Chain A
Amino acid sequence: MTDQKDICLSGSGLTKVFGYGRQTCCAVDHVDFKFYEGEVVSIVGESGSGKTTLAKMLLGLINPTAGDIYFQGKKRDISTYKKKQEYWKSIQAIFQDPYCSYNIFRKIDAVLLDCIHMRGGRRLPHAKKVEMMVEACSFVNLKFEELTNKYPFELSGGQMQRLMIARIFLLRPKILLADEPTSMIDACSRATILDMLMQLRDEIDMTPIFITHDIGLAYYISDTVYIMEQGKFVESGSADEVILHPKEAYTQRLISDVPKIYEEWDLSTV
């Protein structure tokens, strides 16, 4: 395989507990992980397993109750809002529902301009900004001239999700957290989105982390898979290892419960 890569994001003992007193809910329970640069990671879990909470903690949108996160080897410090804004230059996200990800009152030009400004391009001449936006849109097979001055709800779901990818193209983060990026997209358009994300990885040298409940998707696209159950990582390893030769009982059950078409789908284990 490849040489020893650098660790871009890792965590130890990461925990998040909601509520206080007697009514507590432990969403993420002492989780350890190491994500290497350039490798495609998937965190697979069913709903309620805590994967969305973990994603928000990695993004810095929620503060952990305990544990540390290390970014590029150093302990992550996002105690002030300014530090958070600095951190967000290196890590970005794509969310599940393209219809909810946009502010419906702002035109899509504003969304792309925000990205240019975040990378320090506020003083650039307008023509240069437009050039950058055209380039970003063409990367995702959209035409900027057709989209300019439109509101998000005038686009289709697939177009909106691709625009999210264009946004990432402009932002060039080191890490991308994709939270169920294709669950609300038609099956026929899924491959397009996934291909674009992989192209983006090669283009800007980015580490994508997928959060999903779809094991098939995780198997298809990732190098490393983490299986999450009730706030804990129960198994992790390369995609082939975890999915074709699962060791833990939970993982085995999870894999066997997914309908297969090439192999026999065993219904007796219900």
Chain B
Amino acid sequence: MRYMIQQVFRSPKFLFGFAIFMAMLLTVIIYPLFVTGNPLEIIGQGTFFPPGIYVNVYDSINTEPYILNLDDAAANRIASTLGDEERLAMQEWLVAYGIPEDEIDIADTEKLLGKWENNYDPEIVVTGMTNAKRNYYIRLDASLEGLLAIEGAIIAESNLQTGALEQKDFVEQTDYVNVTEVPNVRVLPLGTDNFGRDVLPELVSATGTSLLIGFVAGITATGIGLVLGLLGGYIGGLVDDITMFFINLFTVIPGFVLLILISYSIGQEKRGAVTIAVVIGITSWVWTARAVRAQVVSLRNRDHVNLSKLSGHSIVHIILSDILPYIASYVVMALILQISLGILAEAGLSILGLGPRTTEVPTLGLMMNWAMIYQAQILGKWWAYFPVVITIALISFSMNLMNTGLDQVFNPALRD
């Protein structure tokens, strides 16, 4: 037994899968200890904030600035408003206006802006231009105002008594603020989702819940399969007939359909994470039972079982010590696969909206569900669904890798 466990931990595939899995498990356990707070807390007003570092503007104004003279500051400022698209649009308008093309140099910002300022007139109707396009040019013009200015900005506050604006502060173009000195800075590595929740803590919490569901579903399914397979396989006769009847019944009824029906009929209120896990478990035990039964049927005629009988052991003792250890390796592998399938089944249910209650805990499937409903993939808001998909893939991948590693240890014929 100890020898086998040593062998298992020497298998590279198993170790790799195990490392990934433990990394996830540890993250799920340790992360909430450091980052407290409800992962379902809505922090963003608005949907799908992109990932990044969010600095409170009000506080940054009040923070002591430092003066940095950087060469590319002006160019950066201009480039963020006046990208290539905008330059080409301006060129297009000017050409349509009548200025010869070779006089327009879109690379030279000053000249281009100069030409624009001299020539642009929102009243002029250029032939072939749609209304929307005209509005676009008006917005473009507005955004270009003050682009080349070198003065700073005035921060004004309205006087509480008079109601008039009084200058409170002045911000130079060369004023920089050290982010660590700003009191309110929030890093959103994965942005926010459609509700405005921070995706990263939500993802970690969801992974934890999904793993829990996977474990419970896996243990339930393997447990039922093991017991039925053992009893039917070893005792045979009527018990076997009854077991086979149930196995055949559950084979014929598609598991997923059954899952949906049960889930639906439980009703929204009763659908907690563990309940769903148990439901998944009781609809997916079939192949484990069948495989265990087949193995037990072949084991019960072996010499060591006969010898055990001749030594006066009871049926329970024989099942536990002569049959069970011989199928243990298979059962462990089946368990790992069932956990993986349980997580995927839950994800599938949640995408359909039949998963656990949405208000209590997030799960990986739920996150995908919301992303889909709110069309994150269409809008290009990759942070709402891509990390979730990768997490599910990593969980499945690590478990399958562990399984392959275990298989190679227990079945020497498969070793490379």
User: Do any CB atoms of chain A lie under 8 A from CB atoms of chain B in the complex?
Assistant: yes
Partner of B309 from A61, A101, A104, A105 at Cβ < 8 Å: A61
- Considering the complex, give the chain B residue whose CB is closest to the CB of A119: B312
Report the Cα distance A89→B322, complex, angstroms: 20
Residues of B within 8 Å of A56, CB to CB, are: 306
**Cβ of B132 under 8 Å from chain A:** no
The reply to whether B325 and A105 contact each other, CB–CB distance below 8 Å, is yes
- Considering the complex, give the chain A residue whose CB is closest to the CB of B311: A114
Count chain B CB atoms within 10 A of each CB in A85, A103, A111, A115 and give the residue with the most.
A103
| Interface of chain B residues 300 through 323 with chain A (CB within 8 A) | 302-304, 306-315, 321-322
- Considering the complex, give the chain A residue whose CB is closest to the CB of B310: A88
Q: Mark B373-401, 1 if CB is under 8 A from A, else 0.
A: 00000000000000000000000000000
Minimum CB–CB distance from A132 to chain B (whole Å) comes to: 15
Residues of B within 8 Å of A101, CB to CB, are: 303-304, 307
Report the Cα distance A106→B325, complex, angstroms: 10
**Cβ of A204 under 8 Å from chain B:** no
Report the Cα distance A93→B308, complex, angstroms: 11
Interface size class, chain B: 10 to 19
The reply to whether B313 and A114 contact each other, CB–CB distance below 8 Å, is yes
Partner of A105 from B1, B303, B306, B312 at Cβ < 8 Å: B1
Interface size class, chain A: 20 to 34
**Cβ of A59 under 8 Å from chain B:** yes
Q: Mark A84-106, 1 if CB is under 8 A from B, else 0.
A: 11001100110111001111111
| Interface of chain A residues 70 through 89 with chain B (CB within 8 A) | 81, 84-85, 88-89
Report the Cα distance A56→B301, complex, angstroms: 11
The reply to whether B312 and A85 contact each other, CB–CB distance below 8 Å, is yes
| Interface of chain B residues 317 through 366 with chain A (CB within 8 A) | 321-322, 325-326
**Cβ of A244 under 8 Å from chain B:** no
Report the Cα distance A101→B302, complex, angstroms: 8
Report the Cα distance A170→B329, complex, angstroms: 34
The reply to whether A81 and B315 contact each other, CB–CB distance below 8 Å, is yes
Partner of A118 from B1, B306, B312 at Cβ < 8 Å: B312
Minimum CB–CB distance from A6 to chain B (whole Å) comes to: 23
Report the Cα distance A111→B312, complex, angstroms: 12
- Considering the complex, give the chain A residue whose CB is closest to the CB of B4: A105
The reply to whether A95 and B303 contact each other, CB–CB distance below 8 Å, is yes
Residues of A within 8 Å of B310, CB to CB, are: 59, 88, 92-93
Residues of B within 8 Å of A105, CB to CB, are: 1, 321, 325-326
Residues of A within 8 Å of B312, CB to CB, are: 85, 88-89, 114, 117-118
Minimum CB–CB distance from B317 to chain A (whole Å) comes to: 10
22 CB contacts below 8 A, A to B, read: A56-B306, A59-B306, A61-B306, A81-B314, A81-B315, A85-B312, A88-B309, A88-B311, A89-B312, A92-B310, A93-B307, A95-B306, A95-B307, A100-B302, A100-B303, A101-B304, A102-B307, A103-B322, A103-B325, A105-B1, A105-B321, A115-B311
9 closest Cβ contacts across the A-B interface?
A: A118-B312, A105-B325, A114-B311, A95-B303, A100-B303, A101-B303, A103-B304, A85-B312, A88-B310
A residues at B contact (CB < 8 Å):
56, 59, 61, 81, 84-85, 88-89, 92-93, 95-97, 100-106, 111, 114-115, 117-118
